[in-house]
Amino acid sequence: MTNRYKERNDEKADEKRPEDAAERWDRDFVRELHAIRRPKILKRIPGLNNGEVWILGAIWGLERERQMERIRVSELVKMMHCPAPAVSRQLKSLESRSFILRETDPEDRRNTLVSLTDAGIAKAKEMEACLNEFARGVYERMGAEDMEELIRLLRRLRHILEEEEGRWMSAGRNRKEEAPKKGKKKGEMR
């Protein structure tokens, strides 16, 4: 215990040394990304809770993209990066208000298929119109120059990120090959 508290105090002392530029960028950048990621507006769509907004939007997006009616629940789960039971719960709630239909896949009875009802399509369009109007207001206040510059910088950051990830992963592979006796099971590495 004493040892852990001591460590905690070392951390504290550590935090007092001046931040360097990369640390400041990291803190500020992560903070801004986090604030932008979950806009409160998504909690204010009439008649839908926050989770339902995401799922209804995902079904609507997939249905439109593929020009087909029914979407596999397993695909939705994968797309939402969300555990299956949580997705199921939201689907059940959307179904209880007749926004979606759930059916067993006649071609593979292990799959459940979902589709938007007419009421669901109307609700998705209402939600989309509401979010688009809101986003348009924000982008227009930002102005063309700043929006173009913001997108250019994010794109540049993403390219660098992807390149560095590539380098990192091939270096990791090499490290693994050079030092395979570190006592970690292979399954644990990935």
Q: Of 6, 78, 92, 156, which lies in the binding site for a copy of itself, with binding defined by CB under 8 A?
A: 156
| Sign of the alpha-carbon dihedral angle for 68, 71, 75, 79 | positive
State which of positions 10-29 bind a copy of itself (CB under 8 A): 11-12, 21-22, 25-26, 28-29
Stretch that binds a copy of itself, among 42-50, 72-80, 102-110 (CB under 8 A): 42-50
62 binds a copy of itself (CB under 8 A): no
Q: From the CB of 147, what's the least distance to a copy of itself, in Å?
A: 5
Pairing of strands 100-104, 71-72: unpaired
Cβ atoms < 10 Å from Cβ of 86: 13
Residue whose C-alpha is closest to residue 117's, from 103, 136, 138: 103
Choose, by CB under 8 A, the member of 150, 170, 174, 180 that binds a copy of itself. Answer: 150
Distance, CA of 175 to chain centre: 31
Binding part of the chain for a copy of itself, among 70-78, 101-109, 160-168 by CB under 8 A, reads: 160-168
Q: Of 35, 111, 27, 127, nearest to 76 (Cα)? A: 111
Structure tokens at 99: 């926004």
Residues 88-117: x where in contact with a copy of itself by CB under 8 A, - otherwise, as a string:
------------------------------
